[in-house]
Amino acid sequence: MKRLILFGAPGSGKGTMGDLIQRDFNYAKISTGDILRNAIQQDSTDGRQAKSFMESGGLVPDELVIELVRQRLSRSDLDGGYVLDGYPRTLAQAEALSNIASESEKAIFIEVSESEAVERLLSRLTCSECGAIYNLISKPPKTAGTCDLCRGRVAKRADDNEEAVRQRFRVYGERTMPVIEFYGHKKVLERVNGGGAAALVYEKIKGLIA
Ligand code: ADP
Ligand code: ZN
């Protein structure tokens, strides 16, 4: 399988699982959220366009995201396979993806209750340099405010507040659930219970990849 797509609500663990898969399977990880946050940090044209959508918990317009993914998929480091985290999120993005590159694929839907996901998001900390994910309660960085991996600044993401989280869930239900159904109909979708400790969820996901 060449392409693995991770689906799940905000806070379901897509980013964390993507990092582990990248580490163990040598897949490239492509996270549109990370790409967009980098663009914002660099204050590029794309970043300036995306910023307000992201901060309010809405979706960045399809044209912009599709173009960023098209550019990323044209790079030559994907021969060993790649994992998508946060893309596709709309039916238009899913259609664009199959047009850009049709390859053998599997999708994993990480299911978690909304209350657990919200609790995770509101206690989550993220490295502003490398995107590494921490949690105030269950996985704080060794030195407060500093990334264990790259020494970058670790802080709350701008959209990890109650209002933006509520909006992200609304958008997820309206725009992304139909995409997950679409992959279900394609018969490439596996479901995993994403509740509980990351290591346990990852064991289940590993079994589906290998
Ligand atoms: P989460 O899954 O926890 O919401 P992400 O980092 O995947 O976090 O996404 C954060 C924000 O980035 C989204 O709320 C949205 O504004 C933007 N974004 C990320 N991926 C996409 C995408 N594929 N299409 C449109 N917007 C996106
Ligand atoms: Zn870091």
pLDDT tens digits, residue range 175-207?
Answer: 999 999 999 999 999 999 999 999 999 999 999
Q: Is residue 53 over pLDDT 90?
A: yes
Residue 192's DSSP bridge partners are 110
Looking at per-residue confidence, does 1 or 53 come out higher? 53
pLDDT band at 2 (very low <50, low <70, confident <90, very high): very high
Q: Is residue 210 over pLDDT 80?
A: no
CA 6 to chain centre: 7
Question: Which parts of 55-111 are beta strand (E)?
Answer: 82-85, 105-111
Pocket lining for ligand 1, CB < 6 angstroms: 10-11, 14, 32-33, 36, 53-54, 57-60, 65, 86-87, 89, 93, 159, 168
Predicted confidence at residue 1, as pLDDT, reads 82
Tell me which residues are annotated as active site: 14, 89, 124, 157, 168
Peptide bond into 61 cis (omega under 30): no
Residue 106's DSSP bridge partners are 4
Give the model confidence (pLDDT) of 88-102 as tens digits: 999 999 999 999 988
Q: Which atom of ligand 1 is nearest to the CA of 32?
A: 20
Q: What is the pTM of this model?
A: 0.94
Q: Which atom of ligand 1 is nearest to the CA of 61?
A: 25
Mean pLDDT of the chain: 95
